[in-house]
Structure 1
Amino acid sequence: MKKVSLLLGLILAITAFNIPLRAAQLIVADIKQLNDALTKVKAGDVIIWKNGKYTDVKIDFSPLANGTALKPIILKAQTAGKVSLSGSSQILIGGNYLRVEGFLFEGNCTLGHDEHVITFKSKKEANHCRVTNCAVINYTLTEQSGKTNYYINLLGTYNEVDHCYFKGKINKGPVLVVEYKMDKGYVPGSDVAPSAYHHIHHNYFGYRTFSENGGEQMRIGTSTSSFTHGFNIIEYNYLEEERLEAEIISNKSWNNIYRFNTFYANDGGMVIRHGQQCFVYGNYINGKSGRNESAGLRVINPNNTFFNNYVENLEGGDKGLKSPITIMSGLEGSALNEYYPADNAIVAYNTVVNSVGPAIKIAVGNASKGKPFIAPKNVMLVGNTIINTVGKNNAPFVIEDAASTYTLKNNVYTNGSTTEKGFVLVKQKGIIMKSGFSYVNHPVDKDVIDSINQRLAVHKIKLTEKEITRFNPKWKLKKKDVGVSWIKN
């Protein structure tokens, strides 16, 4: 009886947890074999692509069946990094609960305009799908080609890109783009496009360059869909050596979170370009590159929240839009692709160290559009720490439009000068060092803590006072923390 009971218990457990008794493994080496496999696989099955070098292989991973949360359908390299794709090769993903892993794109790229390397859409939309442990290295069109494409084109909903490695893109178009579904008749600037809820994490974004606009590492949305409530989370990514581009990450939608990312030696910064109700916190930015171009945090559009970021060694602060913290004016009659003022911004408990000043600039305007500026209103600048600002203008705080309205409270600085109340000069002996990071103790504003948590409530997040006010050294990533398992960073 005991043996029967144990067997019955095992069967019930398997049923309850949806555990596959036998997952099929199908081995393929060309498109014909793949297409045959796609008609047969069921939830939990694995398609294995044989090791080798392949050219002009357009993989359409759209099985007839869908996976499930516990039993995704998987397409994977036989050995991670040993399936090398070149020429006009692509992967298109269509369906629910699918996973792609272990592929390498490298070498000569002959893709056409708007032909993206990995796209989360095929005949069907991609939902709850994942790309992991894949790399795209120097698989790029030339800048002179004039063609635009992306390494990753994220569409659909609840998709994930993690532990991937991207490097060497030199043609137009960001490395990774989130695009929202805009049905026929969509009116630009409306908020009816569905939220995406994507998760982008633990990826490595290495050297890339493009000499015109459109060379970001990530762009989350477009100006056309910039009122879409995206609810994407971008965290624990390492981004370095992005050259000639002012925006390393460019946000262009609402309700996104950017946290615990590390930026190193880039020519631009972390920019909320369009969109509202976004959060930028816990990020580490080191601008030391020798190119005198690096930027920090740039706040545009109303109702965005920047707190507890640590920025140091920034070199571009004497340039108009590249101060360590830049809070922008809007434009009168702004078009969707222009500028709205950074009204109601909360900029709190950030730390700026050894960076070219001014450290914080408010009401910075972009005159290139030829329109009158609208100064930001009701900006909260609380508890920020400015240590050892350098350069010709080492002021901790500069106002470029007296029409701005703002609250300054409990901000501290170690050198330079300002007449603004709410900034207090402290001596070097007041600096606390811990794990290579500098801190200055100053009062905590409970109202600001509550305001930040009230804004975060839409994401069902509540942070402690320490998480909001004190940078944790563990948030600074090392290269080995991210990227694929088969490339040593």
Structure 2
Amino acid sequence: MQLFCFTFIFLVNLSIVSAQTMVSSAEELKNALTKIEVGQTIVWKNGTYRDIKINFNPKTIGKEKSPIILKAETAGKVIFTGNSQLLVDGKYLQAEGFYFEGKSTLEKGDVMAFSTNSFKCRITNCAVKNYGPADDLANNNWISIQGIRNEIDHCYFSGKTNQGPYLVVRYKTADDFVPGSDNAPSTYHHIHHNYFGYRTMPTDNGGEDMRIGDSKTSFTHGFNIIEYNYFEDHRLEPEVISNKSWDNIYRFNTFMNNDGSMVLRHGQKCFVYGNYFSGKTGRNMSGGIRVINANQTIFNNYLENLEGAVQERKAPICVMSGLLQSALNEYYPADSSIIAYNIVANSVGPAIVLGEGNASKGKEFVDPQNILLANNVVYNITGKNNEAVKVMGNKTSYVFINNLYALCSSNYKGFEAVKTKEIKKVNGLNSIEQKENTAIINRINARLLIHHFQLTSKEIMQFNPAWRIAKANVGVNWMK
């Protein structure tokens, strides 16, 4: 019996070894991909490689529970330099453990990308650091997500100094696609547990950490989920995240000491909830959540130490006016948006701005209609304007219900002053017992039906300190 067990274990281990193929060049990879089978792994040998174009496109299609894997021999020890790139092109594929590092000669194209034909593929435990070209005006991205139902997780991005976002989601369009009326296919991507670190750029536009869609495809129903990511030390660009499509969810992300905001720039019916923002930088540029376009739902976020409200659009929460006869790449009013159960604390005021407009386009503003502010808490607002809420334009466009404030000012009905002793510290965060507004909770859950899940009253009303993720719990596991 012991001999049988030993023989069985030996054969199992032998089959695992035989299911792995070692490569150290693009040509060896190309050859291995012609022979690879479902559930097998290609291992790239440790070392530093320059100007390598990795096209991970096996002829065989993987399976959901048995993907074809391309990975580093040791995570972080396969280093690509120069103009190296990785393209994941197939179904049920997984790439992991690669490191793109140092000054790059890649001035165009994506460092890592999923192809338009990719389906249920994954890039995980990879890093891109200081991989910008010499020309900071060169425009490229470090990760481009195309295809359908792809996943990018536990990756690390830091040190980008040239134009172009770290991460973009691109929608596939037909040759006869008409921007502004046609929808591209939904993508259902999952972006989670990634670290987005220091970045700057030579201008103040086009350098987001993340852009989901673009103006031309902004009527597309994306259904992407962006959660448990950590955004830190983002400089100059006013948009840390730029949402540019419909039906995306942004939840449980942490924003630390950034110059910009989480911006719903285009697209409708997005959800922003359970996120933590802190912006004590001394640069007076840190923002919170900026809302543009209709039917957005913003609830149960915690925003503190934000300094940027000397510019109203960088207030902790800013709801924008639209523009008359807005072009597709301009501003539509944030009609019928819900702003509920958020906490704004220890920030430069005003805490909440309603009806801010972009005058640079030279067009007449269109006030947002039917905006609901309910059960928000505003505490300790400083600066020249310490208002809990500042209303610009038509004041009849907004409904205020059961909002609370302390150590700041408000003259609006629907904002009630409370004593500071009623606000308690729980796990380092300000908290106050809130009234349960069943009607608003039901409205939020009715909007969530399209995503096929519901939230409890507690999940909507009370910020969970566990949602404020630690940096150690995101990014690659070999760079801590």
TM-score range, shorter chain: over 0.9
Q: Which residue of 403, 426, 436 maps to 1:434?
A: 426
Amino acid at match of 2:444: I
Q: 5 Å matches for 1:28-43? A: 28-43=23-38
For residue 265 of structure 2, the aligned residue among 266, 273, 295 is 273
CA contact (8 A) 1:135 1:484 kept: yes
Matching residue of 2:62: 67
Aligned twin of 2:4: none
> Counterpart of 1:67 in structure 2: which amino acid?
G
CA distance in 1, matches of 2:396, 2:220: 28
> How far apart are 1:125 and its partner, in Å?
1.3
Shift of 1:108: 2.4
Q: Identify the match of residue 351 of structure 1 among 343, 351, 356.
A: 343
* Letter matched to residue 415 of structure 1: L
Check the 8 A contact 1:456/1:462 in 2, yes or no: yes
CA spacing shift, 1:106–1:22, aligned 2, 3 Å: closer
Matches within 5 A, 1:280-299: 280-299=272-291
The 2-side partners of 1:483 and 1:442 are apart by: 35
- Match for 1:197: what amino acid? Y
**How far apart in 1 are the matches of 2:415 and 2:70?**
56
1:400 to 378, 392, 415: 392
Q: Does 1:153 align with 2:144?
A: yes
Q: Distance in 1 between matches of 2:469 and 2:396?
A: 36
Equivalent residue letter for 1:356: V
* Alignment of 1:56 onto 2:51: yes
What is the deviation of 1:21? Answer: 8.6
Instruction: Give, in angstroms, the shift of residue 390 of structure 1.
Output: 0.6
Q: Secondary structure at the match of 1:33?
A: helix
Q: In the alignment, which residue of structure 1 is the partner of 2:3?
A: none
The residue aligned with 1:206 is: 197
Confirm whether residue 308 of structure 1 aligns to residue 300 of structure 2. Answer: yes
The match for 1:166 among 157, 162, 171 is 157
Q: How does 1:103-252 map to 2 (within 5 A)?
A: 103-113=98-108, 115-121=109-115, 125-142=117-134, 144-210=135-201, 211-252=203-244
What letter is aligned with 1:312?
E
Aligned with 2:330 (options 324, 328, 338)? 338
C-alpha deviation, 1:465, in angstroms: 0.5
Note if 1:413 corresponds to 2:405. Answer: yes
Show CA shifts across 1:27-79 (max 9, x none): 00011111100100011010100000000000011111110101100000000
Q: Which residue in the other structure is 1:24 paired with? A: 19
State the alpha-carbon separation in 1 of the partners of residues 384 and 411 from structure 2.
Answer: 18
**1:257–1:278 contact (8 Å) kept in structure 2:** yes
Residues in 1 aligned to 2:230 and 2:182: alpha-carbon distance in whole angstroms: 31
Shift of 1:23: 6.6
Q: Secondary structure at the match of 2:385?
A: coil
State the secondary structure of the residue aligned to 2:307.
coil
Residue identity in the other structure for 1:323 = A
Counterpart CA distance in 1 for 2:124 and 2:324 is 44
Give deviations 1:440-462, integer Å, cap 9, x for gaps: 22322111000000001111110
Distance in 2 (CA, whole Å) between partners of 1:308 and 1:412 is 14
Aligned positions of 1:468-487 closer than 5 A = 468-487=460-479
Please report how far the alpha carbon of residue 258 of structure 1 lies from its aligned counterpart in structure 2 after TM superposition. 0.2
Q: Secondary structure of the residue that 1:317 maps to in structure 2?
A: helix
- Describe the SS at the equivalent of 2:264: strand
Q: 1:317–1:145: structure 2 CA closer, same or farther, 3 Å change rule?
A: closer
Gaps of 5+ in 1: 1-19
Distance 2:194 2:435 in 1: 36
Where do 5+ consecutive residues of structure 2 fail to align? 1-14
- The alpha carbon displacement at 1:22 in A equals 8.6
Contact map agreement 1:375 1:403 (CA 8 A) in 2: no
**TM-score normalised by length of structure 1:** 0.94
Residue 192 of structure 1: how far off its partner (Å): 2.5
Deviations 1:211-269 (A, max 9, x none): 33111100000010001000000000010000001110110000000000000000011
Q: CA RMSD in A?
A: 1.6
Alpha-carbon deviations, 1:278-322, whole Å to 9, x = none?
A: 000000000111111000111100000000000000001111310
Cα separation, partners in 2 of 1:222 and 1:404, compared to 1, 3 Å: farther
Question: What is the CA distance between 1:326 and its match in structure 2?
Answer: 0.2
Once the two structures are overlaid, the 10-residue window that deviates more, 23-32 or 177-186, is 23-32
Q: Which residue of 1 aligns with 2:8?
A: none
Distance in 1 between residues matched to 2:118 and 2:275, nearest whole Å:
30
2:450 alignment partner, SS class: helix
Question: Aligned partners of 1:244 and 1:374: how far apart in 2?
Answer: 28
Q: Percent identity between the aligned chains?
A: 55
Please name the residue that 1:255 is paired with. 247
Assess if the C-alpha contact under 8 Å between 1:68 and 1:97 holds in 2. yes
Shift of 1:403: 5.5
Picking from 440, 445, 451, the partner of 2:437 is 445
Whole-angstrom CA distance in 2 between matches of 1:356 and 1:417: 13
SS at match of 1:107: strand
- Secondary structure of the 1:242 match is coil
Partner of residue 355, structure 2: 363
Matched, 1:102 2:94: no
Listed one character per residue, the Cα deviations across residues 357-414 of structure 1 (whole Å, up to 9, x for unaligned) are 0011101100000000000000010000000001110000111102651110110000
Residue 107 of structure 1: how far off its partner (Å)? 1.1
Please give the secondary structure, in 1, of the residue aligned with 2:215.
coil
Alignment-mate amino acid for residue 62 of structure 1: N
Change (3 A) 1:269 1:404: farther
Secondary structure of the residue aligned to 1:263 is strand
On the 8 A contact 1:87/1:111 being kept in 2, the answer is yes
